[in-house]
Copies of this chain bind each other. A is one copy, B any other.
Amino acid sequence: MHQRQEVIRVPTRGQGLYEITAEVARFVRDSGVETGLLTLFIRHTSASLVIQENADPDVMRDMAEFYARLVEEGAPWYRHVMEGPDDMPAHIRSSLTDVSLTIPVAAGRPALGTWQGVFVFEHRRRPHERQVVAHIIGDQTGTPGA
C-alpha cells in the first residue's frame, strides 16, 4: 500500500468556480497508484470544493449566482462583519458546499463521471492563493474486486 501527499496551489481572482480537474488527474498519475482512494481537502473557511458539470460554463455561473442569492451580503443580523461584507457569507457558502472530497481511483485515474469536474469555489472578492491538500492511498498495481 502506497501513499502520496501534495499541496495544490490555486490562484483565484474573485468569486467563482476554478476548475482543477487536470491538476488532480496529474497528481494521481504521478503517484503511480492504480487502485485506491483520493482525498482533496481545502485548508480554508472562505473557499470550498465542489464537483460539478464542466461542459457548459453557464452551469458554473448559475451555481455561483445561486449561492450569492441564497447567502446575501450585508444581512442586518450578521455579527461577524469586521473582515468585510463578503467574509461571513463566504463562511456560510463554504459550509453549504464541501471542505473535503473523497474520490475512488480506478485504472490510475479518479473515477469521475463523464461530465464531472473538480472545482475550487472562491467565495471572497479579492484574489487569493488557495491550498488544496491532495492525498492518495492505494496499490500501484492491479485492480482488486470488480
Contact = CB atoms under 8 A, between A and B. Distances in A.
Contact of A3 (B50, B82, B94, B145): B145
A4 B52 CA distance: 26
A111 interface: yes
A4 B49 CA distance: 26
A15 interface: no
A43 B145 contact: no
Given A41-B102, A133-B111, A4 B144 contact: yes
A7 to B, nearest CB: 7
A104 B1 contact: no
B62 A5 contact: no
A10 interface: no
Given A59-B91, A71-B66, A116-B45, A3 B35 contact: yes
B59 A80 contact: yes
Interface in A52-67: 52-53, 56, 58-59, 61-63, 65-66
Interface of A: 1-7, 31, 35-37, 39, 41-45, 50-53, 56, 58-59, 61-63, 65-66, 70-71, 77-80, 82, 88, 91-92, 94-104, 106, 111-116, 131, 133, 135, 137-139, 143-146
